[in-house]
Structure 1
Amino acid sequence: MREFITNEWFTVFTLLGLLSVVVAKTLNSLRFSDFIYVIGNSKYLKIYSRDQNFIDTFDGFLFFNFTLSLSVFIFYAYSTFVSPLQFDLITFLKMSFAIATILIIKVLVERLIASLFEIDELIDSYLFQKTTFKNYSGLVLLIANLFLIYTNNFTTIILSVTIGLVGLINLIGFYLTFKTHQNSINLNLFYFLLYLCALEIGPYVLLYKVFRDYNV
């Protein structure tokens, strides 16, 4: 009965994630089509990075899916590789909220620091590309969660392959950013390295603490 209840809630979260992706596609079907082929095709990054808004509805819905899908995936990954977790709805929602909050605050701080270092254009482009590949990872996590929820076999394989794919997707994104802005990065190398150390490592230490506390 406990497993049934857990899967039932995870089905709800997965459907909400899927719904948010559908809404994003409905809002801008052309942009979504370009987004799907962003791996290996720089068209999306070149076109839409010029039209960034501080609050982007399209990215917002995809980010909502990313947050929910990541939370479900983390539950399965932690239960499989570390120790089994007992599902609790309130605690799970708190964890999802913490993930979303930390990532949003991280972006806001990144923009502030970029302004202080006067590298706004570089960081804005970097953030757009990073957000794009993060949201793309959300699609991969969404599909992986469907297999995790509705199949009892090959859980370890599914988790391992998904982690590898998500890592590869984000490495590709970082490489494309570095390649596109290599000259600007070289001119501001010290500030860019300082930025990476402070804002690409620190927040994930906080996320680890959230996951550790969640297990408690």
Structure 2
Amino acid sequence: MKVIVREIIATDWITIVIMTSIILLASARLMNSVRFSEFIMLFNTNKYVVINQKGNKLSTFFNGVLMLVQILSISLFAYLSVEAFQWQGDHIDMMLYFKIAALYLFVVICKILVEKIISTIFSIETLIEDYLFYKISYRNFLGVILLPLNLLFVYSVKPSKIVVIVLIVSLLILNLIILFSVYRRNENVILNNLFYFILYLCALEIAPYFMLYKLII
């Protein structure tokens, strides 16, 4: 009988990442159960954004915890996507995940800092603060949505290339809908500064994620 060697890939570190995300979500709920309930219903109602948008709520500990969940969850999904397409060869280890997470965190922080600097230069701090809170809140929610999908892909069904492509396209469409809804709310400001708005889209909404994609693959 011919012996068939089965390669077993350790998922202990992925379990730690997922458990950390779950613990962070539980901590956010314990910190403010009412606000967390409003956050979970974000795609049904914008009550969470309307109530918490004012008053520099972007810098609160509650929002910081949800951003950590976003970074952990989206980075894990990106890692699983790379594994599905085998862009890094046959051997893929946890160092790739941490590189993806570090790059994603770097991009997110740099974008926020640059946008805050721009808001100070043009004296539009309130507008940019509301815009950032709106955008980041919905992306935090997308990170929560990806968490059960990551669980499914790690412990139950290995995702095919088609499934990954469909999910990535769906996430891009959702992200575009979120951005469009923000821009729709500030239509007058955008139309009055259309040239600067186009520069902003190219420099801060398209270029960073294109660079992140190129660095990952």
Of the three residues 186, 196, 199, the one matched with 1:194 is 199
Match of residue 54 from structure 2 = 50
Of the three residues 119, 133, 141, the one matched with 1:114 is 119
Letter in structure 2 aligned against 1:211: I
Of the three residues 211, 214, 217, the one matched with 1:209 is 214
> Are positions 1:35 and 2:45 aligned together?
no
Equivalences for residues 1-216 of structure 1 within 5 A? 3-5=8-10, 7-53=11-57, 55-83=59-87, 84=89, 86-152=91-157, 155-156=160-161, 158-212=163-217
Contact 1:71 1:95 in 2 (8 A): yes
Q: Who wins on radius of gyration, i.e. which is larger?
A: 2
Return closer, same or farther for 1:191/1:122 CA change in 2, 3 Å cut-off: farther
- Over the aligned positions, Cα root-mean-square deviation in angstroms equals 2.2
Return closer, same or farther for 1:33/1:165 CA change in 2, 3 Å cut-off: farther
TM-score in terms of structure 1 length: 0.87
Return closer, same or farther for 1:40/1:190 CA change in 2, 3 Å cut-off: farther
Deviates more, 1:146-155 or 1:82-91: 82-91
Taking the aligned partners of 1:158 and 1:21, their CA distance within structure 2 comes to 26
Q: Secondary structure at the match of 1:86?
A: coil
Taking the aligned partners of 2:205 and 2:106, their CA distance within structure 1 comes to 15
Match of residue 3 from structure 2 = none
Deviations 1:135-175 (A, max 9, x none): 01101111110110111355446534432442243223212
Return closer, same or farther for 1:3/1:76 CA change in 2, 3 Å cut-off: farther
Q: Secondary structure at the match of 2:54?
A: helix
Letter in structure 2 aligned against 1:43: K
Return closer, same or farther for 1:161/1:27 CA change in 2, 3 Å cut-off: farther
Q: Secondary structure at the match of 2:171?
A: helix
Contact 1:133 1:169 in 2 (8 A): no
Q: Secondary structure at the match of 2:45?
A: coil
Give unmatched runs, 5+ long, in structure 1.
Answer: none
Q: May I ask how many residue pairs the two structures share in their alignment?
A: 211
Richer in helix (by share): 1
Deviates more, 1:149-158 or 1:133-142: 149-158
Identity score, percent: 33
Return closer, same or farther for 1:135/1:142 CA change in 2, 3 Å cut-off: same
Deviates more, 1:50-59 or 1:37-46: 50-59
